[in-house]
Chains A and B, each alone.
Chain A
């Protein structure tokens, strides 16, 4: 197994955002996220989106990294848009299409669907684009080809409100994803964890042991590569006992997974026990006050960023009164 198992998305370009205190980033980006939901005016939202894009560009991280996390949400975006456009019937009517489903068009649509699934077996990229293309083809057929055997008629109507809401949802989701990616791309998992611990520390007063929680998270992060190596080893060990993980019916698959899971459980418990003993031997007492090797410290720029974020939120709240809501 190669030892370069990278967890988290951290990408180092040493930009100003990388150098910010993790606490600043957590608080500011959290405030920005709230801001996304406060804004109800389309123009302000677009302005805000431009600001987020500026932030993204200022980190000098390749845009492909951001697009990667956007791609995971593509289906969600696609379907919310479709639903908003089709079912929101408020505002002025912009367009309507009357479609007729006949025996002929139905069968052609089914053929199109089947051919889509065959094609994506060979072409791995642009699946969503292909799906949209095939759906449009089917819709076009239904609007143009009218033969005698009509099954049913229906109309698709697009209203202004639907379009605006769809736009809103898209911009909001993209902005949210970009903001959260900003945090994970510019902060190391360990720093993130330290920052979270510090930000959540007021909760200690009501009895929530955040330091223990943070320790748990950092241990979990630390052991991901170790456990991956372990899993790889057990996988190979079972393969040399004749387990073929690539094939088998459902019954065999269950046995295969059990043969991997049980040893993994045993190894993890053993490791946990050893680690607990080692930690106690070095004087770790859960919940006790601990000092840190690297103490987080706010710098001028941190205060500036925080101040700006708070101003932003205030502006967001005030703007709700002065600008007309578009949603």
Chain B
């Protein structure tokens, strides 16, 4: 049960003349993503193919060569079955998802997804109300027009619209861009809750290493259309050549910990991602020394 990429390459456009080179956006991707409990960050430079990769995960893009296997359904360049059910299992939240809102009230817009995936009106309503609760939308907002809401609230509505159809995997393309710090924190916290309490797999595209450090368990690094790293976040952040090879930064707290370690030349566990954890670790190590 999960998403499997087998030797997947992808190009938006295949030239009609055979001798012209194909401009591949993605090359030879091999991945396995479990349906339950994973929290993955996809990082990489602009134009490295992150967004294209996640669109392959719910069959919005079809692989040019190779196979994507989602829950034992094999997707190739020309699939012979309906792709709708795959989109129910893997929900994809686009960048700036507030632009996909169109219904008259918040509730009907959240219900739109579940209704399309074949739930009855009653069920769809129940799911929508539940999804609104998960993302932290107040109940009195549900009957208002979505276009009267603030940007942050609109984004919550859009994300609720995906969560409402109860996908096993929720993929979010830069969900925190342009949000105020409070909404951003709320958003990440309910994603974490979704991950731990409902055992959903969450996949985030992000540029924010602090988010990667605090919330994610596994990191996939993309570079020029290829997966160059795939593994637990500690393994990635313990590498000394992060900047040179992958062009990535360390999370802020970790950077401070690294500096302290290098300055004082002591044996510190630098894999701390929140200020509080870092404080505890420092107290433990330095406290020992002082005594």
Contacts and interface: CB of A to CB of B under 8 A. Distances in A.
Contact of A263 (B13, B60, B102): B102
B13 A266 contact: no
Interface in B63-106: 82, 84, 87-88, 91-92, 94, 97, 99-102
A1 B94 CA distance: 15
Nearest to A258: B102
Nearest to B158: A237
Interface centre among A4, A236, A241, A242 (most CB of B within 10 A): A241
B40 interface: no
Given A259-B102, A267-B99, A236 B55 contact: yes
B12 A237 contact: no
A33 interface: no
B87 A242 contact: yes
Nearest to B88: A242
A38 B272 CA distance: 85
A233 B55 CA distance: 11
Contact of A241 (B12, B13, B112): B112
A171 interface: no
A234 B84 contact: no
Interface string A219-240: 0000000000000011011111
Interface string B17-60: 00000000000000000000000000000000000000100101
A244 interface: yes
A242 B113 contact: yes
Contact of B165 (A233, A242, A262): A242
B161 interface: yes
A291 interface: no
Contacts of A4: 13
A247 to B, nearest CB: 9
A277 B116 CA distance: 39
Interface string A240-263: 111110000000000000110111
A2 B24 CA distance: 12
Interface string B153-182: 000000001100100000000000000000
A234 B100 contact: yes
A236 B13 contact: no
Contacts of B100: 234, 237-238, 241, 259, 263
Interface in A1-53: 1-2, 4
B279 interface: no
Contacts of B13: 2, 4
A239 B94 contact: no
Interface string B192-235: 00000000000000000000000000000000000000000000
Given A263-B100, A263-B102, A267-B99, A237 B87 contact: no
B99 A240 contact: no
A197 to B, nearest CB: 34
A117 B210 CA distance: 63
B10 to A, nearest CB: 13
A239 B83 CA distance: 10
B190 interface: no
B210 to A, nearest CB: 27
Contacts of B82: 244
Contacts of A242: 84, 87-88, 112-113, 115-117, 165
A239 B55 CA distance: 11
Contact of A240 (B87, B101, B102, B115): B87
Interface string A265-303: 011000000000000000000000000000000000000
Contact of B87 (A233, A239, A262, A267): A239
A241 B102 contact: no
B175 to A, nearest CB: 13
A243 B99 CA distance: 16
B49 to A, nearest CB: 14
A237 B102 contact: no
Contacts of B87: 239-242
Which of A234, A240, A263 is most buried by chain B, counting CB atoms within 10 A of its CB?
A240
Interface in B111-134: 112-113, 115-117
Given A1-B12, A2-B13, A236-B55, A241 B99 contact: no
* Residue of B88, B94, B117 with most partner-chain A CB within 10 A: B94
Nearest to B116: A242
B94 A237 contact: yes
Contacts of A244: 82, 84, 116
Among A1, A237, A239, A258, max chain B CB count under 10 A is at: A237
18 contacts: A4-B13, A236-B94, A237-B92, A239-B87, A240-B60, A240-B91, A240-B92, A241-B113, A241-B162, A242-B84, A242-B87, A242-B88, A242-B113, A242-B115, A242-B116, A263-B99, A263-B100, A267-B99
Top 8 A-B residue pairs of the complex, sorted by shortest distance between their CB atoms = A242-B116, A262-B102, A237-B100, A241-B113, A240-B92, A242-B117, A237-B94, A2-B13
